[in-house]
Amino acid sequence: MEKQKTIKASVALLKVLESWGVKDVYGYPGGSINSLLDGLQIEQKNINFIQVRHEQVAALTASAHAKLTGKIGVAFGSAGPGAVNLLNGLYDAREDHAPVLALVGQVPNTAMNYDYFQEMPETPMFSDVACYDRIVMTPESLPHVVDEAIKAAYKNKGVAVVVIPNNFGYEQIPEQKYTSATLSDTKPTPQPVATDSEIDKFLTLVKSAKRPVFHVGRGIKDGGEKIVELSKKLQIPIIIDGLACGLLPTDYDGFLGTANRAASKAADEILSVSDLVIAVGGDFAFAHTYYASHPFKYVQVDNDQSMLGRHHTLDLGIWSDATKFVEKALERSTQVAETNFFKAAVADMQNWKEYLKHMKESSATPLLPGQVYNAINETADPDASFSIDVGDNIINTFRYLDLSKQNKWVISALFATMGSGIPGAIAAKRAYPDKQAWNIAGDGALAMVLQDLATIVKYKIPVINVVTSNNNLSFIQGEQEDAPMQIFGLDLQPIDFAKVANGFGIDAVTVTKANELKPAFEKATAAAKDGKPFLVEVKIGDQRGLPVEDLQLSIINGKLDESVSPNYLDDKPADVHYTPKELFKRYNGENLKTLPEFFDEYNVEL
């Protein structure tokens, strides 16, 4: 009888990853994960080990990979501190519903329960973040557990954790098939479809509404043009969640942009006066407070039944794929005559676009974010990938960055962890090597993961890094300005990021004037084309972006009234109250109009 061939358990594990299409594994070495590194050395021609400089970057990069591609991202860390450091990126994956596998080191099983160095019960640590959380019990089961973990991550669009006693990876186990992957099986997941009755109920609510609005999320996927068609047909303007940026054509006149704080003025105003909100394929995390501004009828369409009614009391919940709902609504609806409300919404957004154009073309010093993003729009490739770090750059991306379906882009959306910019750009360039990869981060965010500039140098990843620097946590300053407190704790010790980049072996420039922006970005794109990373430090001012979230609308005696929240600049003198026009002027918006002006101009019925 022929002797059974054997294979190291760690190699068998990696062959399972390979069978699922995994190309890159992100992690940082440690004593309790050495057997995995042994396997990576053996399998290095088939799978890549990307050594990052902090485990949170490994997990954030794996999460970004999953968000960008829809495919499993893989990260690892050693027992104890390595495991703890993974958590930040794993929570990012959980909150944004990204399939990620975390391989976590553990002391050898022969040393467990002896209070051994760095021994700790790790599965409880991951119980909240993970949809699958197991410790491997035998070397023979290691590849099987990893295979099960990957399936769980895909099924639940979440995090799967496998804790591996270090000695198991070295052990020889039977060489056989351990994977259940079927990469040739590319059938789309069956999606629920709205019934005729549900569509008719929806259309009845639309017919009775005076001021309906679509609030569209990323669940619309490839149906952006179709919901625009429905918007035109039913005369319903469209507002989007931030994650839907790029999925709808922004040149459509009924497109009002994003709502809440990282928002357009028109979107916030129109949502604040709507009497029917139709949420389509979204997960609006701010709904509990933002939707509470006034009463309205609420329709929600989602392909996940558990999401229906999650953020607001339902008048009609429809379990359906977003685009299939839109297609069926198009079939069963009739053309609505042009409405004054729709015309007023379009005019409001056009006025806002003119304001943004003014800000982008400004020659102001210190530099304004609009000037920076205008130069990026002029120099970035049309299909570039963008990783946007957390902070004011989220607001400015939603307002100024040109994004379309050609672009891949990623943010830490619901977990909103600073330091996600470099990991996202690494993931983007590894997944889409033929596309430019941009990392746009503030000085606070970049400093959190500055060490991983070394990673893009080591692996020759030509990321274009843009750091907007003003030595201040501006996003939090905007919150503190409207809170009952004095501004405190937000000033940052200056860092010369260009010099720091040079220390890592990255060419860099510092920009302080508008006429320096485009040449700097042209130099950066040329370096990236030549296969080299580059950094542009842009010195910007600390002026807050126009806080559209401080605008309040109400109907008083049959007339629409717009005011500024009394919380705006909370520490102002008690007798000071800003009008909307005064607010606009403070942020270079002298030509902005209020929504009541547009309602009067177009005779909108309340």
What is the model's pLDDT at position 561? 96
Closest CA to 454 of 536, 537, 535, 530: 535
Give the per-residue pLDDT at 375. Answer: 98
Which of 117, 354, 601, 605 is catalytic? The answer is 117
User: pLDDT tens across 1-16, in order?
Assistant: 578 899 999 999 999 9
pLDDT attached to residue 495: 98
Q: Catalytic site residue 476?
A: yes
Would residue 117 show up in a list of annotated catalytic residues for this protein? yes
Q: Which residue is catalytic, options 475, 504, 534, 598? A: 475
CA-CA-CA-CA torsion for 569, 574, 580, 584, nearest 10 degrees?
A: -40
Q: Which of 16, 390, 466, 500 is catalytic?
A: 390
Relative to beta strand 172-174, strand 316-319 is: unpaired
**pLDDT-based confidence at 169, cuts 50/70/90?**
very high
Please provide the average confidence, as pLDDT, over all residues in the chain: 96
**Six token digits for residue 472:** 């201040």
Confidence grade of residue 457 (pLDDT, cut at 50, 70, 90): very high
User: Residue 287: its pLDDT value, please?
Assistant: 82
- 511 catalytically annotated: no
pLDDT in tens, 17-54: 999 999 999 999 999 999 999 999 999 999 999 999 99
Whether 479 sits among the annotated catalytic residues: the reply is yes
Nearest CA to 446 out of 433, 429, 463, 428 is that of: 463
How far is residue 467's CA from residue 282's CA, in Å, rounded to a whole number? Answer: 30
Per-residue model confidence as pLDDT tens digits over 123-166? 999 999 999 999 999 999 999 999 999 999 999 999 999 999 99
Phi, psi torsion values for 219, nearest 5 degrees? -65, -10
Choose, from 261, 296, 300, 598, the residue flagged as catalytic: 261
Whether the per-residue pLDDT at 185 is higher than 80: the answer is no
Residue 118 appears among annotated catalytic residues: yes
| Residues in CB range of 293: below 8 A, 6 or more apart | 272, 552
* Residue from 7, 16, 55, 107 carrying the catalytic annotation: 55
pLDDT tens for 255-268 read: 999 999 999 999 99
Q: 121 with 106: CB under 8 angstroms?
A: no
> Does the annotation mark 390 as catalytic?
yes
Active-site choice (479, 522, 582, 601)? 479
Q: What is the pLDDT of residue 189?
A: 85
Place of tokens 């991306």: 397
Residue 97 vs residues 71, 74, 91, 157, 386: alpha-carbon distances, Å: 12, 15, 10, 5, 19
* pLDDT the model gives residue 1: 59
Which residue among 476, 487, 495, 509 is the active-site one?
Answer: 476
Per-residue pLDDT at 285 exceeds 90: no
pTM assigned to the model: 0.96
Give the list of residues 6+ apart from residue 397 with CB closer than 8 angstroms, or none.
245, 262, 373, 386, 388, 403, 411, 440
b vs e for 580-600, b when ≥16 Cβ sit within 10 Å of the residue's Cβ? Answer: beebbeebbbeebbbbbbbbe
Mean pLDDT confidence for 525-536: 98
**From 51, 118, 172, 451, the catalytic residue:** 118
3-state secondary structure of 3: coil
pLDDT over 80 at 396, yes or no: yes
Task: Give the residue-averaged pLDDT of 205-214.
Answer: 98
pLDDT digits (tens, 9 = 90+) for 364-392: 999 999 999 999 999 999 999 999 999 99
